[in-house]
Amino acid sequence: MEQMTKKETIALRDKHIGKSCQLFFRQDPLKIMRAKAQYMYDEKGDAYLDCINNVAHVGHCHPAVVEAGCRQMSILNTNNRFLHDNIVLCAQRIINTMPDKLSVCYFVNSGSEANDLALRLAQIHTGNRQVITLEHAYHGHLTSLIDISHYKFNLPGGPPQKDYVHVASCPDTYRGKYRDSDYAKEELSKLYSDEILTICQNVSSEKGEKICAFIAESLLSCGGQIIPPDNYMKNVYDHVRQNGGVCIADEVQVGFGRLGKHWWGFQMHDVIPDIVTMGKPMGNGHPIAAVVTTEEIAESFRRTGVEYFNTYGGNPVSCAIANAVFDTIEKENLREHALVVGEYLFDSCQILAKKHACIGDVRGVGLFLGIEMVKDRDLRTPDKATASYVLKRMREEHILVSADGPECNVIKIKPPMVFTKENVDEVVSTLDRVLKELRDSQQKSSNVKSTEVPSKEPRTRKSLKEDRIKSI
Ligand code: PMP
């Protein structure tokens, strides 16, 4: 039930909520009153298909998750200084999805807290300070993380880059520094990972220091749904470890089975991180997150003698909810579902790319997909205007998608995992219509004769698809 009109909500928000907290669709924000599975409903009861929400992982307000949280809340909620079964069972469930050497958990309340603790563990364990991060990466809103998030500190008003932070190129083989149009596949991973080696060498020669940590998402979401090339992570992990550092995999967006075959994105690259952080999907909307690490790193932390206490981290309610999320992923076979529906989404978008010259690239694994809008397929020039138009028009059609990447030209699709093939059909046919209408209006204004099929092929060639199938 609405407690005030939408206009009043906006006015009260303008008055009391910090202006830096920005809304989706700022010009005409949505007032969402309730949500179920992959749908959200506004104050008029109108439904929107949610392709944005990777937090409502097993579907908005999943009854099993709601029930688990309510039940535990009515029995007990307290900090984790008392023994409780929920926290140890939750830790066990996480560990069961990980390689053997990752066996120790710390519970926190958000992805940012998880990454902050990961950095602290890395500093304590290695005794080093120098951090390597990737261009366009985002790892959280705490001061320690803004400092290593190029996505934020690189903004005109952002803080200056800290002297212990080193930024390597985003391993974007489509529009990054080294492209698949110029180099063979094997060369790409070497070229990008060699940058990390160079950073390690420079840190040693210029500062006389070793590396503390390399931190990266296993697939780069803020960078524009980027899938690093084969062997990139393997090479990087080798360089970092040989130079004294540990490797942190940020799985806050891509973890928990979204990619289908694997629970975690790092498994796709056949590497074992020293520290893994997770959040968003873990509580299906409830704030719970975690850090997983090795016994050796946990032991270094213990040896400092400084107790780790986090008032809400790992409380019985949060853990009951996370356990219900795990149960639901397993009971409803959501990883397999993500694989099948993700494959269908990818194929459908590839077909769409053949019709629309503004789609330069389609990339994705499971239910994590990016559609890169370009002005020119040869030059791969980013087309932010088309991406913004798509977002606005799709919203009018009651489909919520977002855009990201350094030029904000990559349409992101990362829906709740209960997304269906019918949902895919709806998204793709609507996108087809929206892009056609845009092309028609552009052609009308420039008086150019309409051509349905673009002359150049998008990057979505067969080999790319084969690579992808192999990797998932
Ligand atoms: N890491 C990544 C990759 C993220 O996308 C985010 C949030 N967008 C965070 C960390 C921070 O998580 P939170 O907002 O839960 O603090």
| pLDDT value at residue 451 | 45
Choose which residue among 52, 54, 112 to substitute to test ligand 1 binding: the one with the highest number of ligand atoms within 8 A of its C-beta: 112
The C-alpha atoms of residue 224 and residue 164 are separated, in whole angstroms, by 25
How far CA 326 is from CA of 93, 256, 374, in Å, comes to 8, 8, 39
* Range of weakest confidence among 2-11, 202-211, 266-275, 454-463: 454-463
Nearest CA to ligand 1 atom 7: 140
Q: For the segment 280-301, what is each residue's pLDDT rounded down to a tens digit?
A: 999 999 999 999 999 999 999 9
Whether 185 contacts 191, CB under 8 Å: no
Q: What is the DSSP secondary structure assignment for residue 294, as one 8-state letter?
A: -
Quick check: 368 pLDDT over 50? yes
Q: For the segment 200-216, what is each residue's pLDDT rounded down to a tens digit?
A: 999 999 999 999 999 99
Cα of 431 vs centre of ligand 1, distance in Å, is 28
pLDDT confidence tier of residue 1, bands split at 50, 70 and 90: confident
Residue, of 154 and 36, whose pLDDT is higher: 36
- Give me the mean pLDDT over the 268-283 stretch: 98
Pairing state of beta strands 47-50 and 399-400? parallel
Q: For the segment 42-79, what is each residue's pLDDT rounded down to a tens digit?
A: 999 999 999 999 999 999 999 999 999 999 999 999 99
- Give me the mean pLDDT over the 352-357 stretch: 96
pLDDT confidence tier of residue 158, bands split at 50, 70 and 90: confident
Quick check: 469 pLDDT over 80? no
Q: Is 250 in the pocket of ligand 1 (CB under 6 A)?
A: yes
Residue, of 155 and 330, whose pLDDT is higher: 330
- Give me the mean pLDDT over the 173-186 stretch: 95
Same fold, 24-53+334-471 and 63-331: no
- The mean pLDDT of the chain is 94
Cα of 367 vs centre of ligand 1, distance in Å, is 18
| pLDDT value at residue 459 | 60
Q: What is the DSSP secondary structure assignment for residue 284, as one 8-state letter?
A: B
Q: Is 114 in the pocket of ligand 1 (CB under 6 A)?
A: no
Residue, of 344 and 154, whose pLDDT is higher: 344
Quick check: 463 pLDDT over 50? no
Cα of 111 vs centre of ligand 1, distance in Å, is 5
Q: Is 253 in the pocket of ligand 1 (CB under 6 A)?
A: yes
- Give me the mean pLDDT over the 237-247 stretch: 98
- Give me the mean pLDDT over the 408-427 stretch: 98
Whether 300 contacts 274, CB under 8 Å: no
| Neighbour count for residue 51 (Cβ, 10 Å) | 26
The C-alpha atoms of residue 48 and residue 63 are separated, in whole angstroms, by 20
**Residue ranges of domains in the chain:** 24-53+334-471, 63-331
Cα of 222 vs centre of ligand 1, distance in Å, is 10
Of all residues in the chain, what percent carry a pLDDT higher than 90? 90
| pLDDT value at residue 140 | 97
Pairing state of beta strands 289-293 and 39-42? unpaired
Quick check: 462 pLDDT over 50? no
Q: Is 342 in the pocket of ligand 1 (CB under 6 A)?
A: no
Of all residues in the chain, what percent carry a pLDDT higher than 70? 94
Whether 101 contacts 294, CB under 8 Å: yes
| Total residues belonging to the chain | 472
Q: Is 402 in the pocket of ligand 1 (CB under 6 A)?
A: no
Quick check: 468 pLDDT over 70? no
- Give me the mean pLDDT over the 95-113 stretch: 98
For the CA of 289, the nearest atom of ligand 1: 15
Cα of 140 vs centre of ligand 1, distance in Å, is 5
Give the contacts of 320 (CB within 8 A, at least 6 positions apart). Answer: 68, 69, 71, 72, 86
Cα of 9 vs centre of ligand 1, distance in Å, is 27
pTM summary value:
0.94
Q: Residue written as tokens 């990454």?
A: 115
Nearest CA to ligand 1 atom 2: 139
Q: Is 195 in the pocket of ligand 1 (CB under 6 A)?
A: no
Using alpha carbons, select from 271, 242, 256 the residue that is nearest to residue 102.
271
Q: What is the dihedral of CA 450, 455, 459, 463, to 10 degrees?
A: 130
Cα of 104 vs centre of ligand 1, distance in Å, is 21
Cα of 174 vs centre of ligand 1, distance in Å, is 24
Cα of 270 vs centre of ligand 1, distance in Å, is 23
Quick one: CATH architecture of 63-331?
3-Layer(aba) Sandwich (3.40)
Tokens matching residue 145: 């993380």
- Give me the mean pLDDT over the 170-174 stretch: 97
The C-alpha atoms of residue 153 and residue 161 are separated, in whole angstroms, by 6
User: Phi-psi region for residue 284, left (φ > 0), alpha (ψ -120 to 50) or beta?
Assistant: left
For the CA of 140, the nearest atom of ligand 1: 11
Q: For the segment 379-414, what is each residue's pLDDT rounded down to a tens digit?
A: 999 999 999 999 999 999 999 999 999 999 999 999
Q: Is 328 in the pocket of ligand 1 (CB under 6 A)?
A: no
Quick check: 361 pLDDT over 80? yes
Q: Which CATH number fits domain 24-53+334-471: 3.90.580.10, 3.40.50.20, 3.10.20.90, 3.90.1150.10?
A: 3.90.1150.10
Using alpha carbons, select from 245, 41, 5 the residue that is nearest to residue 127.
245
Tokens matching residue 207: 């500062």
| pLDDT value at residue 471 | 32
